[in-house]
A = this chain, B = another copy of it.
């Protein structure tokens, strides 16, 4: 096996593929990157229990293949070598003895490969339903939904993001029962009907290697897995089995008041009002609409003390004094996912879920469930 590749091209592909390496591998080979050198292209891949990523690099002026072959190299170290190199081109050779030699400028590196036979077979077959969506919209959907999914292993299904198509509508829902987000997009053409649950962690990983571009991402969905194809990359994730709960009944449609805030002002106020909240607490802040139309945000830590701050909303449809309590981190994360400068919070009652919307955040609602104190 022998090839010479442009250093920057090698690095960007290793960076993409390495997102599927295990950080805490059960077997050494799971921390490896497999490099398959064929007659006219190189296949690089890595995999962990959730996802697998493959990059195909064709022969060009930036890649010269002299001899075919296959090898699995320790991914972290290979990536470090290429990252630190100042060389223009990198020569990789595997000898009969199975030793791999890398020549990068003045550096000569010898690497002991991992066991190729132990590297799992990865199936990137595209034998399911096909969807297409541009990278920009896909990144937006991921950014606006994954943060709301559960991180608790006991809530297996809620660790996923539910994607449902209906005609030309694609709807995405995530919830951990305390916070809920729902986003939909309307497309010019109709989709085949699907309802699947993507692991939210997988979508997070996918987001890291998607460019901010209008390039089309093809998504092939079968019963147990999905394969995302874009640029020279295939990204596979397993799907979560099971039925995602129907969340529509808990979304309120009648409200006692709607209060509009400047987003930055509200965030700064919540950050100050929560300064005494330590991890040991339940992260609860109190939100009260006063008779004068101002809002009081406060929190108490019995040991340290209390903080309260008055914030003047931009507007308030009905001044009905009430108060509600909830986890402030949910509210901060929800606000951060909004692209609007103003955020409207619609309240249905003191212990009813409330709804966040933003004028520039079309077809997107967020819902937070108060806690009873």
Q: Which residues of A contact B (CB under 8 A)?
A: 74, 77, 80-81, 84-86, 100, 106-112, 268-269, 271-273, 275-276, 303-311
Pairwise interchain contact B110-A305, C-beta atoms closer than 8 A: yes
Given A275-B81, A275-B84, decide whether A109 and B268 contact each other with a Cβ distance below 8 A.
Answer: no
Closest residue of B by beta carbon distance from A300: B110
9 nearest A-B residue pairs (beta carbon): A111-B305, A107-B309, A110-B305, A110-B306, A80-B275, A109-B307, A84-B272, A106-B309, A106-B310
Closest residue of B by beta carbon distance from A84: B272
Contacts of A84 in B (CB 8 A): 268, 271-272, 275
Pairwise interchain contact B309-A108, C-beta atoms closer than 8 A: yes
Pairwise interchain contact B305-A272, C-beta atoms closer than 8 A: no
Bound form: Cα–Cα A306–B310 in Å: 62
Pairwise interchain contact A307-B112, C-beta atoms closer than 8 A: no
Given A84-B272, A84-B275, A272-B85, decide whether A112 and B305 contact each other with a Cβ distance below 8 A.
Answer: yes
Interface centre among A80, A100, A110, A269 (most CB of B within 10 A): A110
Contacts of A108 in B (CB 8 A): 307-309
Pairwise interchain contact B107-A77, C-beta atoms closer than 8 A: no
Pairwise interchain contact A112-B77, C-beta atoms closer than 8 A: no
Closest residue of B by beta carbon distance from A83: B275
Contacts of A304 in B (CB 8 A): 74, 77, 111-112
Pairwise interchain contact A275-B77, C-beta atoms closer than 8 A: yes
Contacts of A306 in B (CB 8 A): 109-110
Closest residue of B by beta carbon distance from A109: B307
Additional pairs, 10, CB under 8 Å, beyond known A80-B275, A106-B311, A111-B305: A74-B304, A77-B275, A77-B304, A81-B272, A81-B275, A106-B269, A107-B272, A108-B309, A109-B308, A112-B303
Contacts of A276 in B (CB 8 A): 77
Contacts of A109 in B (CB 8 A): 305-308
Interface centre among A107, A268, A269, A271 (most CB of B within 10 A): A107
Given A271-B84, A272-B84, A275-B84, decide whether A107 and B307 contact each other with a Cβ distance below 8 A.
Answer: yes
Pairwise interchain contact A308-B77, C-beta atoms closer than 8 A: no
Closest residue of B by beta carbon distance from A80: B275
Contacts of A100 in B (CB 8 A): 305
Bound form: Cα–Cα A277–B109 in Å: 13
